[in-house]
Amino acid sequence: MIKTLVQCKNPEILAITPLKIGDKVSAETKKTLKRCNVPFHWVSYMGEGNPYKNMVPPWRAYRKDNETPPYIIKIDNDLTCKKGMLDHLYEALVDSPKHVGYSYCCFRYRGGVNADFDNIPWDINRLIQHNYISSCSLMKSKVLEETGSFVTDDKYSRLLDWALWLQFLRRGYIGKFVPETSFTAYAGPNSVSVGSQQDYQLKHAAIHRYLIAPYIDRFKEIQERLK
């Protein structure tokens, strides 16, 4: 079921919150995400798939009746966003070069997982080794369409955001780090980020096997071009 949380005329951003059955968007997320000036349309969708599978139906439905805003972002259901987070991510992309496909910021996990991802500029070598960029990053809608839309394969679950950024990279698109803002995500006991180390290693190995190893030469070409 698709639910509209924020609607406005001529939105610059489409925000989508994918929900598991029975989940809801927290009051803190609703309050803190709205503390911005950029016009945005925000919808949630509850489904039985993984988070990225649950991004597809609302995006598809939205485009049937509306012109797609220039930018799109996945917003998890339990975030505390720094004031103006959407503004900063948006401003970083408005006049960015064509090869910049998305903007991202610092974030922290608290709860079932406690980890900080602070002040890590975009780096191709780091991205090939592991993921450090949140799924809650602002993407250029046309670039997302060009690169093949969201990655939804369950064999990459827990690391579907990493799979997406590697898909962007394979097509020559990089990310832009925005140090001026951040958010904190609460990882509950059923969060996709919570799981065994063994499961994480299995997903990590699948990413390397299918999304990194076959494209190493391509990544090296992109790295040389970016120098």
Q: What is the spatial distance between Cα 1 and Cα 140, in angstroms, rounded to a whole number?
A: 25
Domain boundaries, the chain: 2-226
What is the pLDDT, as a whole number, of residue 110? 83
Over residues 87-140, the pLDDT tens digits come to 999 999 999 999 999 999 999 888 767 778 888 899 999 999 999 999 999 999
Tens-digit pLDDT profile for residues 31-89: 999 999 999 999 999 999 999 999 999 999 998 888 889 999 999 999 999 999 999 99
**Sorting pLDDT into bands at 50, 70 and 90, what band is 200?**
confident
Would you state the pLDDT for residue 191? 54
pLDDT at 216 over 90: yes
Give the other-Cβ count within 10 Å of 93's Cβ. Answer: 21
Cα 12 to Cα 8: distance, rounded to the nearest angstrom: 10
Residue at token pair 């992309």: 93
Given a contact cutoff of 8 angstroms between Cβ atoms, the answer to whether 194 and 142 are in contact is no
- Whole-number Å distance between alpha carbons of 156 and 13: 27
pTM above 0.85, yes or no: yes
Q: What percent of the chain has pLDDT over 70?
A: 96
Give, to the nearest 10 degrees, the angle between helix 160-170 and helix 197-207: 10
Answer yes or no: is pLDDT of 189 > 70: no
* Closest by CA position to 208, among listed 143, 132, 134, 155: 155
Provide the angle, in degrees to the nearest 10, between the axes of the packed helices 160-170 and 216-226. 60
For residue 70, what are its two tokens?
A: 């220039």
Q: If DSSP codes are grouped into helix, strand and coil, which group holds residue 185?
A: strand
In the numeric block, which tokens belong to residue 93?
């992309």
Range 2-226 classified under CATH 3.40.50.12780: no
Cα gap 168→159, rounded to integer Å? 15
